[in-house]
Amino acid sequence: MQSACNNSVKACNENRYFRARKEAARKDAKLNSRESAAEFLGISASSLTNYELGVTKQVPPDAVALMADLYNAPELKCSYCAECPVGRGMLFPAKVGSIETVTVKFIKVQSMGTVEEAKSKLLEISTGGKLTHENSGAALWLLDYSDNLAVAVTEIRMACQKLLAESGINYKNRLAGTIVA
């Protein structure tokens, strides 16, 4: 099975599932081989090969979730959603940065504007109930601001998930009610 990558080194090196497994193998040698990783994932080695070589165009979502958890690579879930028909066109970070990197990015986004400014622009475009030429600039500003903020917040979430998992802390069973709807 390993020889499949030798025949298509470029395909493997460019594949997010392959890269995530190899990155995880730096900390856990049992993930070095596809056969071993596939066993932990509960899938066949040939299925994992097909995912890593891009032969399978639509990797099953449950397999992506399993790989993301086993490899401690939450970015796999985001990149998967960016390819599906529903998520296509949405903004998703491509990789997880260090907590320091995502902190700096978040602060940079905050320098674009404030929550007070966003509230003001929301009121500007909501007054009267419809968008006009005069208030369209506010809507465009809000779109840019919220896109940048959404990416920054998602990067923070992924960095924290990675840190918690590396520390052996189960973040998935947080107390209900911590998420504001």
Domain ranges of the chain: 3-91, 96-173
| Residue 49: count of CB within 10 angstroms of its CB | 21
b/e map of 137-162 (b: 16 or more CB within 10 Å)? ebeebbeebeebbebbebbbbbbebb
User: 43-48: long-range contacts (C-beta < 8 A, 24 or more apart)?
Assistant: 45/1, 46/1, 48/17
Whole-structure pTM value: 0.63
Q: Give the mean pLDDT of the chain.
A: 81
Taking each helix axis as running N to C, give the angle between helix 136-166 and helix 99-110, from 0 to 180 degrees, rounded to the nearest 10: 160
**Residue 97: pLDDT over 80:** no
Q: Which of 104, 22, 102 is closest to 70 using CA atoms? A: 22
Q: What percent of the chain has pLDDT over 70?
A: 80
* 134 vs 128: which has the higher pLDDT: 134
